[in-house]
Structure 1
Amino acid sequence: MTPISILDLVRVTEATDAAGALYNARDVAQHAESWGYNRIWVAEHHNLAGIASAATSVVIGHIAAGTKKIRVGAGGIMLPNHAPYIIAEQFGTLERLFPGRIDLGLGRAPGTDQMTLRALRRDPGSSDHFPQDVMELQAFLAPAQPDQRIVAIPAAGTEVPLWILGSSNFGAMLAAELGLPYAFASHFAPDYLLPALELYRSRFKPSEQLDKPHAMVGVNIIAADTDAEAKRLATTQQMSFTNIFRGARGLSKPPIDDIETYWSPQEKVQAMGMLARSIYGSPDTVRAGMDALVKETQADELIVVSDVFDHQARIHSIDLIAQAAGLSRE
Structure 2
Amino acid sequence: MTLALPNYGRAMHPRLLLRLSLFASLVCAACQSVAATYEIERMKDNVYRFTAGNYRSAFMVTDAGIVATDPINAEAAAWLKDELARRFNVPLRYVVYSHNHVDHSYGGRALDGEGVHFVAHRLAREDLVQTRADTRIPDITFDDEMTLHLGNARVGLRYHGVNNGRGSISMHFQPANVMYVVDWIVLGRMTYKNLKGYDIQGMIDSTEAILATDFDLFIGGHADAGDKTDVARYLAYLNALYDSVRDGMLAGKPLAQLKADIRLPAFSDLRMYDEWLGLNIEGVHDTLVDQSYFDMRPDIQPRD
- TM exceeding 0.5: no
Higher strand share: 2
TM-score in terms of structure 1 length:
0.28
Greater length-normalized contact order (CA 8 Å, ≥ 6 residues apart):
1
